Amino acid sequence: MSAALAPWLLAPLAQALQTTRSHALLIHGPRGVGQFELALALAAAWLCEGEPEARPSGQACGVCGACRLIAGRTHPDLLVLVPEALQQTLGWSATEEAADGEGGKGRKPSKEIRVEAVRAAVAFAQKTSTRGGTKVSVLYPAERINATSANMLLKTLEEPPGRARFILASAAPQQLLPTVRSRCQALRLPLPRQQAAFDWLEAERVNQPEVLLAAAGGAPLEVLERLALGVTAEAWLRLPREVQAGQSATLAAWPLPLAIDALQKLCHDALAVAVGAAPRYFGALSVPAAGDVAQLTACGAVLRGEMRRAEHPWNAALGVEALVQQLRRAMQPATLATTLPQVARSSTLRRAAGQSPVDTLKP
């Protein structure tokens, strides 16, 4: 496990090993920089039973009995809680307690860490360590627990049983209850340096990593996640042209938050270019230069609102799927069919008035 750790996580791991004094750690940072990977590496380092000589930087040795059990997902003192919907992607499956919980078979995989799973984690922490060392629970994404679970967890975080330790990993720590946040020692994971991320993606044989790294705001693991969902460099590069032509096929094939995220980024870049700044997510040549600042600003606000609604179904009680479908219908054609032609029209007017740079893309 430790051998595959991305190079930009090595320093944060060393830092965590040296500075973690609390029994609860919150690893947070932008999406896609490796919170979960770091959490697992740290858990492995805490549980490793290898000789100190075999682990010069304090990392897990990777070869001792404990490390082999972790690699086989069967270490009795390690509990990894991830939502069912992420279990396959991340390679960690449900606890028995969670799998047998309410709803039973046949329901959709939950996007939340289920209450039963958190209850199991609390019970896990109370039990004596099987191998005589520490016990570690990893929760990811930690914001995907509901208020009931958070309150249940809170009691355990307040009065930690024995040598139990918790690692909460999150890209949205502001969505955690403040009372949970305040009981954790925080470790912030920054974006890796661009060159390090680029080299790593090249080693992963990613096509046009510079395009996808920009698209993902510099987060390399996010690039891989997006690739699995169809966000190739080719698709990304043709997006501005497609949106300008009112075509939504590429966007409609992506999950809604991802489609809205792409529109937000395109809107951001169009606005940047319109005020004479450099685009951040798309190539300079692919973003039209003559957008209407007021309308792009308004469009950005609409997209932010849609994103909030699209990202929150994990915390909604009922009708999540219906809400998502409704938003998809309401948002996509409206944005593509009305906002952008309006932008085009007003930029034509401004061009006629001689106030705006020439639009570099043919309609």
Q: Which of 26, 67, 142, 343 binds Zn ion (CB under 5 A)?
A: 67
- Which CB atom, from 52 or from 178, has the smaller least distance to Zn ion? 52
At closest approach, how far in Å is the CB of 44 from Zn ion? 7
Give the binding range for Zn ion (CB under 5 A) out of 10-18, 24-32, 46-54, 161-169: 46-54
DSSP secondary-structure letter at 114? P
- Which CB atom, from 67 or from 340, has the smaller least distance to Zn ion? 67
The footprint of Zn ion on this chain (CB under 5 A) covers a number of residues equal to: 6
Tell me which residues in 7-36 interact with Zn ion (CB under 5 A).
none
- Which CB atom, from 50 or from 161, has the smaller least distance to Zn ion? 50
- Which CB atom, from 53 or from 102, has the smaller least distance to Zn ion? 53
Instruction: List the alpha helices (DSSP H) in the chain.
Output: 10-19, 35-47, 65-71, 84-90, 96-99, 115-126, 147-158, 178-182, 194-203, 209-215, 220-228, 233-244, 249-252, 256-274, 293-311, 320-334, 340-352
CA distances (Å), 14 to each of 51, 145, 166, 328, in order? 17, 28, 18, 44
CA angle 236, 239, 242 (to 5 degrees): 155
- Which CB atom, from 70 or from 270, has the smaller least distance to Zn ion? 70
- The residue with tokens 């969902």 is 229
At closest approach, how far in Å is the CB of 56 from Zn ion? 13
Tell me which residues in 47-66 interact with Zn ion (CB under 5 A).
48, 50, 60-61, 64
At closest approach, how far in Å is the CB of 72 from Zn ion? 13
136 binds Zn ion (CB under 5 A): no
**In 10 A of CB 134, how many CB atoms?**
16
Q: Which residues bind Zn ion (CB under 5 A)?
A: 48, 50, 60-61, 64, 67
